[in-house]
Each structure stands twice: as C-alpha cells, then as structure tokens.
Structure 1
Amino acid sequence: MEIAMDTVVEPAKTFVEVAEIWTPEGDRLVLSGGVYGGHDRFAEASRAESFAKGEGLPGKAWAEARPVVLKEFDGSYFRRTEVAKEAGLTCAVAIPVFAGKALRAVLVVLCADDAERTGAIEVWSEAEGILKLADGYYGAARHFEWVSQHTQFPKGQGLPGAVWSAQTPILMRDLGSGYRFVRSESAGQAGLAIGLGVPIPVPGGKTFVLTLLSARGTPIARRFEIWDARAGKTAKMVDGICERDGPLWDPENAGRERVASVWEGPVGHALGGGVPVAETGAAANGYAMMVALPIHRGGELSHVVAWYC
C-alpha cells in the first residue's frame, strides 16, 4: 500500500540577508536598527561599531554622497570582513538618505553569494545627459550583468530612465516580456521578474537611480510597495505587488485604497521619522524581513518604498 506523504516546500532563498540602518550622532554614524536573519555574531560586531565620515562602507556613502556597491570585502575598506565571511555574506550596498544637505541615515543591505542566487542591485548615475551603470551586484546573473554594463538610458527610457524622468519610485512587472524594460531578453534568461526603481536624491543635484531586480527563484523581496507621502501626515499606496496576494493597488477600485498614518506601523514610522525602518516578525506582517526606505525631494519627504522578504 502506498502512503501519501505531505510535500514540504522550502521557501526560496532571498537575495538579501541583512539590512541595517546607520544614523548620524555627532560626527559619527551609529547603528539605530537592523535585521540580521540569525547572523548573531555579525549583528554583535555591528552593534560595537561606529563610523566617521569616510570610514567603512556607511561612512563612504556619507562622504561621497552617493549609493555605494561593494562586491567583495577582502582587501577593501569594509571593517567587519571576518564576521561577514563567517556569516556567508559576500557583498553590500550602502544607500544614503539625505533631506536636502542633511544626512538622515545610511541604509546598508548585505547579500550572500552562491552559484544559484540571481537578482540585481544596481546604481545608475547621470553623465553627459545619459544614465550609465555606476556599479551593481548580480549574483549568478553573469550575462545580464554584462548586458547592463553595456546599456545606457536617456531620460524616460527603461526603468532607470523612467525613474529619472518622473523623479518618483516605479514598479515594473514581467521584466522578461515587458516592452518597457529595455533588457527584457536577458532579464528573461536570468529569471528576473519584478523591478523596483528608486531615485536617490543627494546634495549637489547629481542624479542617482537605484534599481532592485527580483528573480522568482531567489527574490530580493516577496512583496513591494510604493507609498506617496506628499500629503504630509499620511501616505497612500500608489503601487504594490505581492507573490501571494497579487496586485496590491488597483486604480479602478477605490475600495482597495490603502493609507498609512504617521507613526503607525513600519511605513508610518518611516513617514514620521524620515529615516529607514527595518523590521522582522509581527512588525513585518510575518515576513522574515521588511525595509521601508523614505525618499526626500527638495528637503521634504515625498515617498516611502517598502519591500518584504
């Protein structure tokens, strides 16, 4: 007699494993929050650290006023290399959050690398009227990385160019088949499905766009949200998608409108404090990790983007 066995499906590995928030205190950056996914020794080492301007990865993003991608730690300015290697972490991206000229925080996300993890975290910068790849981390998506290194975007074209033109965060679906995504063929080959593009305002008016490209097998996130915060004390979701719930926003269905109030929930805390928020467990709606990243435009908070892993 055959006995039916329940099939246990392991959740897919996520592309990002750690998120931490560094905020200025005097002339140094100190750790104000983070989610470490069980990497306790790395969390302990992080809590013992602080960074002056120009020191380590958070200090470099502060000093250079730009997002910084660090694809390997050995021989670099990264100060927690040994414990990072013990945790299996291999690269990191630091995202400064400025309100006008004032630094509010630096968000650092750290990834683990293996032969299977696919996804992309990219930084695009403007030079001579066109967006070029400043740097990026792609995991196993080597061909897509090569294509990206040889692709440029005028204002309004592709995901980076659309973000540059609109000066707002943008979600794109079906990257492998979408005509709006310029690199669709190579994205489809890499299994990339969803793209989130985010403007990163910095002092001096330089243009930087951060793109997070998520694959189904090793997603950067299982849920993405974009919140319009220009109303002040509330933010309204203007786009969102979840692998479990499908579309989170429907312009034709006002009954599905979602609003976050200041200081209520992680998005509300990002709205109220103007600094990134990283949560886990119940505060992250049961996800292993959520990050809410505020975007300031002209010194005022304009949007909050959130992703849940």
Structure 2
Amino acid sequence: MSSTFIKAAEVWLPSEDGTLLEFGSGAFGPARRFAAISREMCFGRGEGLPGRAWDEGRPVLLPRFEGSNFRRVAAAHDAGLACAVALPLFVHDSLSSVLVIFCGPDAAADAASGLELWHHDARITSDMRLVDGAFFGANAQAFESASRDTYLPRGVGLPGAAWQRGEAVFLENLPAAPGRFLRAQEAAEAGLLRGLAIPAGSKLEDSHVVSFLADAKLPLARRIERWVPDAAGALLRRVYAFSELHGGASLIEATLPLSVSASATTGSIVEAWRSAMPAINDFPASEPGAPAAAATAIGSWALLAIPMVRRDEVVEVVALYL
C-alpha cells in the first residue's frame, strides 16, 4: 500500500508586510516538479487557491483545477493531484497561515474516495449543507447525489458531529454506522469505508467542516492520530490512532511534553499546538518519541500536524502520516 488519498500538503504564511502569502513548508513526496514550482511562488489576496481562501476568509474547495484560478494545473495533474482544499487559520481575527491539502484517486486500485466541504450559515438555515465535493470511484454518483441533497443538524452525521464537538471525528466503518453517518447505504454502494471530518477555521461567524472519505484500498493517510492536552496542561496525550498498515485502531496512549529545554527538539505536533499553525515534517523519523516510532513502523515519508483552533485556542492536534 504505497498510495494514500491525501497526497500532498503545503503551508502558506503572510509576508512580513502582510501583502502576500509566501511558501512556508510542504510535503510533496514524489511530486518533485510540483514542489519546485510551489516553493518559488507567492500569492496576493484573491490570487490562486491560497490567496482566495485568504481573501474570502473561509475554506475553499476545488473539486477540479480546470476553470478555476489555480495556477499550477499542469504540474498538479502530472503529480496525480485531482482536487484540493485551502484552510485559512485565524487567531484573534488575524490570518496566521493557509493550509492547502491536495488529494487524488488511485485509478489502478479502483478505489472509492471523496473530499467534501460543509457549511452552516445561521442566517439561512439551522443545518449544515454541502458546499462542494470531489467524489471518485465507479459507483460514486449515488453517494454524490445524496450528499448534495443532505441537510445535517448540529451533532448529526460525521460533519455534524465535528461541527458540534469542535474537534476531529474519525469513523472506521461508514456503512456500519447509519446512526452516526446518515449516508451509510450510499457509502456502502460506493465502496467508501473510512471518514475523517475536521472543523475548519473562518473569519466569518459561519461554521465549516472538511470531510475526507476513502476505502481500505486507498487510505486517507498511512496513519491518523488525535492529540489533546492533559488536565495539567503539561503534556499532549495521544488519545486515538488508526492505521491500515499497523493493525487498525489503537487506544494505546503516548505523551509529548509541552515544556522542553531550548536545546530539545519539540517535534511537529507540539509545534502545531504552540504556534496554532500547521506543521509539516518531510522526514518524520526525526520526530521525538512516539511519532518517530509510528512513522518508522509504517514507512511514513511526511507528517502533517493540524491544530484545531476554537475561540482562538488550540484544543487538539490532528496528526496525518503520509
């Protein structure tokens, strides 16, 4: 199992004078040409996918690159990237960064997969509705149609649960969870098995959730973890992990210290917690402690740590091993 649905990620940071977004870090795997082009770019407000998310102050999903203002279409297709979502992160109403996650299907494995953006606007409805999505697989049409017709009350369904909790929610078996995933029958018909929903930041009062969906043949990532602080605020605890390559779900706890000496390596997960910005390590075997062991065991080539920010405070960190 060499491929994953999430194929690349990059972080864009405001320039010193606040007029541009500049390349901060990235994980591109074998997509070397795409990586080289990206590292030399910058975006003004409204320019490209990162600039559009910055300008609109909300997440933006591109189900396809053609017909949009995406500036790297040919290189993206050459790298096997088919869709993307840009997630702006705000702290005290100021943009701290824009995280872009690129996804793509695996035609050789005939695997089902999907990327969704959900939105709640209290001025219009009390429910959450699909903004847009990218769906892949021979039997994905019925699932896509059901998704576009679905209204999710707060706390209902996978996106609704992430919306209510303000934290990431992972479901191992979508078809077997009709009470927690309203589109269970359509997911079974499409071949979708796993689902990860994460709340997404916005400068507006609206709420957004991004969902990643895939089957076991093409996992979302090689490993998914959730890290939360302990009661004393001195440690981050790993409270959940899942890996197709390492026995499925695991509740074995691990910890990372939040207070370390100046000479010690903090690692991407603690860095994301402290900075309230995504952190990327394209050599995860160098991480301290348990993350390095996990990355080595599954042959991970990159670690993406995403902070979940609620009311200007980080409440957890989601770690995706690619």
Relative to the length of structure 2, the TM-score reads 0.84
Alpha-carbon distance in 2 for matches of 1:89, 1:172 = 24
What per-residue deviation string (whole Å, max 9, x for no partner) do you get for residues 250-288 of structure 1? xxxxxx432223362221121122211222342461313
Is the aligned partner of 1:135 residue 2:125? Answer: no
Is the aligned partner of 1:64 residue 2:66? Answer: no
Alpha-carbon distance in 2 for matches of 1:291, 1:142 = 31
Shift of 1:169: 1.7
Give, as a single letter, the amino acid of the residue that structure 2 aligns with 1:134. Answer: V
Is the aligned partner of 1:259 residue 2:255? Answer: yes
What per-residue deviation string (whole Å, max 9, x for no partner) do you get for residues 5-28 of structure 1? xxxxxx153112211111111221
What per-residue deviation string (whole Å, max 9, x for no partner) do you get for residues 205-245 of structure 1? 21111112231111111321112248655322232222213
Alpha-carbon distance in 1 for matches of 2:175, 2:206 = 30
Structure 1 residues 183-262: aligned runs within 5 Å: 183-229=183-229, 232=233, 234-243=235-244, 244-249=246-251, 256-262=252-258
Deviates further, 28-37 or 84-93: 84-93
Give the count of matched residue pairs: 293
What secondary structure sits across from 1:202 in the alignment? coil
Preserved contact between residue 229 and residue 236 of structure 1 (Cα < 8 Å): yes
For residue 18 of structure 1, what is the aligned residue in structure 2?
8
In structure 2, do the counterparts of structure 1 residues 229 and 98 end up closer, same or farther at CA, with 3 Å as the change threshold? farther
Preserved contact between residue 227 and residue 238 of structure 1 (Cα < 8 Å): yes
Shift of 1:190: 2.4
Preserved contact between residue 278 and residue 305 of structure 2 (Cα < 8 Å): yes
What per-residue deviation string (whole Å, max 9, x for no partner) do you get for residues 155-198 of structure 1? 11111111222222222221111132111111122222222221
For residue 80 of structure 2, what is the aligned residue in structure 1?
88
Alpha-carbon distance in 1 for matches of 2:229, 2:47 = 32
Deviates further, 267-276 or 139-148: 139-148
What secondary structure sits across from 2:38 in the alignment? helix
Give, as a single letter, the amino acid of the residue that structure 1 aligns with 2:214. Answer: S
What secondary structure sits across from 2:188 in the alignment? helix
Alpha-carbon distance in 1 for matches of 2:165, 2:27 = 31
For residue 272 of structure 1, what is the aligned residue in structure 2?
274
Where does the alignment leave 5 or more consecutive residues of structure 2 unmatched? 259-264, 287-291
Is the aligned partner of 1:295 residue 2:308? Answer: yes
For residue 122 of structure 1, what is the aligned residue in structure 2?
116
- Coordinate RMSD, CA, aligned: 2.0
Return structure 1 stretches of 4+ with deviation > 6 angstroms: none
Preserved contact between residue 59 and residue 202 of structure 2 (Cα < 8 Å): no
What secondary structure sits across from 2:274 in the alignment? helix
What secondary structure sits across from 1:89 in the alignment? coil
In structure 2, do the counterparts of structure 1 residues 117 and 105 end up closer, same or farther at CA, with 3 Å as the change threshold? farther
What secondary structure sits across from 1:192 in the alignment? coil
What secondary structure sits across from 2:54 in the alignment? helix
Alpha-carbon distance in 1 for matches of 2:50, 2:111 = 25
Where does the alignment leave 5 or more consecutive residues of structure 1 unmatched? 1-10, 250-255
Deviates further, 223-232 or 56-65: 223-232
Alpha-carbon distance in 2 for matches of 1:133, 1:233 = 38
Alpha-carbon distance in 1 for matches of 2:2, 2:273 = 30
What per-residue deviation string (whole Å, max 9, x for no partner) do you get for residues 126-158 of structure 1? 131100001112222333222211111011111
Relative to the length of structure 1, the TM-score reads 0.88
Preserved contact between residue 3 and residue 106 of structure 2 (Cα < 8 Å): no
Shift of 1:81: 1.8
Alpha-carbon distance in 1 for matches of 2:282, 2:90 = 25
Shift of 1:291: 1.4
